[in-house]
Amino acid sequence: MEKEPFFANSTVINWQMRSPDAAASLPKLNSGHLNLIWDQTIDQSAKFGSALSSLVSSPSSNLPATTAGGDSVVIHELIGRLGSICNSGEISAPSSHYQSANNSCYSTPMNSPPKLNLSIVSNPAHMPFSADPGFEKAARCSTFGCSGGGSHGGGKFMFPEVGKLGNAQESSSGSGNAKKRKAALKAKGNETPLSSSVTAITNPPKKAGVGGLNAKKSKPSEETGVEKESAREDADAPSKKMEEEKINKPPEVAKDYIHVRARRGQATDSHSLAERVRREKISERMKLLQDLVPGCSKVTGKAVMLDEIINYVQLLQRQVEFLSMKLATVNPQLDFNLENFVTEDMEIHQNCGLLPPQPVYPLETTSSSFSFAKQPERTPLISINGLELEGQLNPFNHPNFSRNLSMQQPPLEGIADASCQLGTFWDDDLRTVVQMGFSQNQENVFSKSFPG
Amino acid sequence: MSKWRSAEQQRIYGRRLLEALRSARSSLTGPWGIKKAADYALALSARGQSRWSRAILFGRSRGGKVMLKHKAGGKIRRLRRFHPPGKLAAAQMNGSKVRDRLRLLSRLVPGCRKLPVARVLAETADYMAALQIQVNTMRAFVDALSAAAVAARRTDGELDVEALR
């Protein structure tokens, strides 16, 4: 994550100037503390998400204190908690006091503000516009700090779009969530000047109420997570999620507990949270599989992807069957030659390792001709290709001609699609090994066949 | 899973397969003898760290009954035909199509019949990489060995031809 020491400064300061509400108490606290905290937390920016998630319970408990005086107290406590969490991560926080300032700013807006903040942190391009995003954050902080006062865009965390902010303010929390997310995403994606964000701050949204609502909503979810919390952060997952432009909670921690944050506007009971975690795990695995299966980068959707995976696994298994049968025919003739070809095998293995997996349909069809493959859905294709292969095999049916050669040649010259692939395979790997023997043998066989 | 990508693993598997082929074991005879030997060698190369490899390794010894709880002192479980709830409970994989395909997939991968979705997908990824290595190695074997056989026959043929003249 990138470091944005500046924007903390400017955000706090600017925000203080503009926000009438918590101006008095907060500026002194935040400007100094935030700078320090930012310097440290920047290193931990990735951990911020989880740290903040753990903080949920703390802000939630502190939110009720909405008075201006109470804000500072709340802020202090929150910062302290954030500091504790940051400490557990790795930061040598100067003091929990400093961190409490951070907490206050980011704990109140349950989910999206921390995420958005981190996204800003991660985007170095935002540095020049530090004032503007800072305004946004400051606005949020202020709104959360004074949830009761609700002076500044309560729960709205989107940066650049004034209109969106206004919309968010007006709409209910549910619909506002979608808009907020969009705006937040835009904020993440765009580096456009955020001058509009300044005006956004001045909008006295009625969002404070909404923000308070959201805060309360997230409370139970966060509490469940926090109770189990071991105060350890996972740097990778949160940063990944941030970059993915999802206002998600970091789903997993490598350590004991899974830190999950409920999405804004979604159910926050532990069951759905756990379900969401599992769903994300599964989608992660599906992406892994997508990389393994060749030619599935464009496929979207679980059903089609699973279909491709199943087909590929079946294809590989059939290839293994076919090759094992081929090996069986070759094997008895090799008793005395195995040692000679161990080294050649090793060469070929190295070359094979570099080959991309090729769908070798011609091999598959030849296997079917031996009635080893029993896949009903493949039979039409197999029959057609089998005919082709039969045609190819005929000229090579010669008593002197070994079955191996006959099987090798049709794949090489018969089917156009795979032939080039196989041809390259053969060229790269077998030229060095087999060229001499192969070509000579062919000549010999042909020469023998004519008189014979 | 990254271990499958290394050429080292492929060489290891190649050696294991070679040993299996050389040994004149009775298990090698029969239509699927070599396939079983190849799968066994593959599971050996996986060192039993994945579920499918354990299923292959211990499936042979039990004569077809998949031993699911080897850790628990070798308890033998019979393969059940109904579908385990583990798959359904995991994350609500929406749609009957998806669930059907998951079932099919879990049947394809050895030893993954009663696993939740996440495990099945992880095992599938590992299994796919292993199968890829198996196919490449066996293809290399076949090509090298058949070329060797051809060369051997050629030398024999030359000798015969010379003898004839």
pLDDT digits (tens, 9 = 90+) for A69-124: 455 555 556 555 655 655 554 444 444 444 444 444 444 444 444 444 444 444 44
- Domain ranges in chain B are 7-58+131-163
Query: Who has greater pLDDT, B131 or A155?
Result: B131
| Tokens linked to A309 | 């995976």
Q: Name the strand (E) or helix (H) holding A132.
A: helix A131-145
Q: What is the DSSP string of A153-179?
A: -SS----S-HHHHHHHHHS-HHHHHHH
Q: What is the pLDDT of residue B30?
A: 73
**Rounded to the nearest 5°, which phi and psi values hold at A233?**
-110, 155
Instruction: Judge contact between A25 and A71, C-beta under 8 A.
Output: yes
Q: With an 8 Å Cβ cutoff, are A331 and B152 in contact?
A: no
Mutate to test the interface with A, among B5, B127, B131, B143 (most CBs of A within 10 A): B143
List domains and CATH numbers for chain A.
Answer: 273-335 (4.10.280)
Q: What is the pLDDT of residue A333?
A: 63
Instruction: Judge contact between A51 and A99, C-beta under 8 A.
Output: no
Measuring CA to CA, which residue among A215, A269, A214, A209 is closest to residue A60?
A215
Mean pLDDT calculated for residue range B46-73: 68
What was the ipTM of the complex prediction? 0.81
**Residue in A342, A350, A372 nearest the CB of B18:** A342
**b/e map of B71-110 (b: 16 or more CB within 10 Å)?**
eeeeeeeeeeeebeebbeebbebeeeebbebbeebbebbb
Question: What percentage of chain B reaches a pLDDT higher than 90?
Answer: 1
| Closest residue on chain A to B95 (Cα) | A303
CA–CA distance, A22 with A16 (Å, rounded to integer): 7
Does B55 contact chain A (CB < 8 Å)?
no
Does A440 contact chain B (CB < 8 Å)?
yes
In A267-372, DSSP assigns E strands to none
3-state secondary structure B63-132: CCCCCCECCCCCECCCCCCCCCHHHHHCCCCCCHHHHHHHHHHHHHCCCCCCCCHHHHHHHHHHHHHHHH
State how far Cα A115 lies from the chain centre: 16
Q: What is the pLDDT of residue B45?
A: 83
Residue A243 buriedness (CB in 10 A; 0-12 / 13-18 / 19+) = middle
Q: How far apart are the first and last CA of chain A?
A: 77
Does A402 contact chain B (CB < 8 Å)?
yes
Measuring CA to CA, which residue among B8, A271, A337, B126 is closest to residue B115?
B126
Q: With an 8 Å Cβ cutoff, are B121 and A282 in contact?
A: yes
| B positions 67-86 inside 8 Å of A (CB) | none
**Residue in A293, A309, A337 nearest the CB of B148:** A337
| A positions 282-301 inside 8 Å of B (CB) | 282, 285-286, 288-289, 292-293
pLDDT digits (tens, 9 = 90+) for A225-245: 444 444 444 444 444 444 444
| Tokens linked to B158 | 């030359």
Q: What is the pLDDT of residue A347?
A: 59
| Tokens linked to B27 | 């298990």
CA–CA distance, B162 with B158 (Å, rounded to integer): 6
* Contact pairs from chain A to chain B, CB under 8 Å: 211
CA–CA distance, A250 with A154 (Å, rounded to integer): 24
Residues of chain A with pLDDT under 50: 1-46, 48-69, 89-131, 133-253, 353-435, 437-439, 441-450, 452
Q: With an 8 Å Cβ cutoff, are B144 and A326 in contact?
A: no
Three-state secondary structure call for residue A242: helix
Does A427 contact chain B (CB < 8 Å)?
no
Instruction: Judge contact between A102 and A207, C-beta under 8 A.
Output: no
Residues of A in contact with B25 (CB under 8 A): none
Measuring CA to CA, which residue among B83, B58, B82 is closest to residue B72?
B58
CA–CA distance, A69 with A79 (Å, rounded to integer): 16
Please give the single-letter amino acid code of residue A279: R
Q: With an 8 Å Cβ cutoff, are A326 and B35 in contact?
A: no
CA–CA distance, A313 with B125 (Å, rounded to integer): 10
Residues of B in contact with A251 (CB under 8 A): none
Does A426 contact chain B (CB < 8 Å)?
yes
CA–CA distance, A260 with B133 (Å, rounded to integer): 38
pLDDT digits (tens, 9 = 90+) for B1-14: 455 567 788 888 88
3-state secondary structure A370-389: CCCCCCHHHHHHHHHHHHHH
